Structure 1
Amino acid sequence: MTTNLFDLKGQVAAISGASRGIGYAMAVALAEAGADVALLQRNPEKMDVKEEIEKRGVTCEIVPCDLENKTQVKEAIPKVVSAFGKIDILVNNAGIQRRSPSVDFSEEDWDDVIDINLKTVWTLSQQAGKYMVEQQSGKIINMGSLLSYQGGLNVPAYAAAKGGVAQVTKALANEWAKENVNVNAIVPGYIATDMNTALINDETRSRQILERIPADRWGSPEDFKGAVVFLASTASNYVNGHLLSVDGGWMGR
């Protein structure tokens, strides 16, 4: 049955940045497809996402993981494996943004954005890859950006990090495809989330952005549910090193 290609029952998925927005929608989608879910979460006391996932009849555990804490980042995947016995899917979703003209962009902001948006993607992927290569199966899904392709304005560190995410995705796919580990990325377009509040509230920029989107609307977090399930499932077994744009047609314009 074709529908079985998207069935994630018996799979264990770990996801970062699931407390809101795109990450929240993707975590729920993985649960709705049948996966048990590990939430790599900064605040282990925040239970609302866990409770929402458990309504889908799957197991959900919170793994403390503050992405600014290098020790917690390195320990996160081993803790997932300890709790569930394995890891089948990793979604590197969490990220931050800093905006400033490049002549004024601080070293602190640069380091923060690169560390959280790129280095933690590498660290979590490397740790998950150790298990996935050994078990000869796995799916790693990174979150790119339109700035994986474009330079943007006043976001030099974010552009550098998301360009790096695209290249790390391809580099790992080249090594691990033969091990039945698929590494791909989702590339969001302009999505109505907290990260884009400044753009949404800028009447001129918001209008300019909307004029270029063939779908004639900003995206929503729910637009990512199908994409993440596809890349997490056997339906994508021959998809490697791909950047899947979910952008309402922006890149084709």
Structure 2
Amino acid sequence: MSKNIAAILFDFGDTLVMFPHLAANDKSASFKKIVKRMYDFLVKNGFKIEWEPFFENYRIIRLKQIEMQRQTGKEYDLRERVSKTLEALGINLPPDSEIIEKALEEYLKGYERNVTIEKETYTVLEKLHSEYKLGLITNFAYPPFFHKIIEKFNLKRFFDAIVVSGEVGWAKPNPKIFHIILSKLNLKPEKCIFVGDHPEIDIMGAKNVGMKTILLSKEKSSLYADLTIRDIRELLSAINRLKIKEK
């Protein structure tokens, strides 16, 4: 197996970088605070809208988009979410309008300031990059924000291939997004180990296309992961254990 594994593939959010779980409860004060940033920006730029109807429509449309993604495997458009929210309030703006782009930038600043990375992540990636091809598959409905974060933490240099759901139209756990990165790396799934924090989106998604899997999570567990680790510092030894296990 040590000769067969050619690539280590990663999820991004909450695997390599930690995102604040502000949207876990879409009625939480933290989530409302972030949406309010976007609302305030729109009001400041002349939109005559009330906060409560704006927030409630945004919340409902968000949930519909997430459910549709689960059913179809297709990534939703974050810009369309804002456009549909405004449409529900009687304002027609195309998703690609400049004001929506700027409103989203303001909204995402609320997340960006709380994104963190452990210094050990760099050490692990340096080591792995010297031995394997590295790939990254991330579910990001608004790709500019992903690229901003990966540049901020200087992580792009480690990866031989990166696939962003908002750029290819498919989201994990849909097999199509996994096959896209396999094509980019010119590898078969059995030659890859996938590392992620979500039991269904990451682990089941990768498992269903034939990859070995490692769940990296302090709280979650999975019956389907080949191995589970609680800290990125355990990853190198976990990969070696998987190799031995398959000999």
**Could you say whether these structures have the same fold, taking a TM-score greater than 0.5 normalized by the shorter chain as the test?**
no
Report the TM range for the smaller structure's normalisation.
0.3 to 0.5
Bigger share in strand: 1
- The structure with higher relative contact order (CA 8 Å, sep 6+) is 2
Structure number with greater Rg is 2
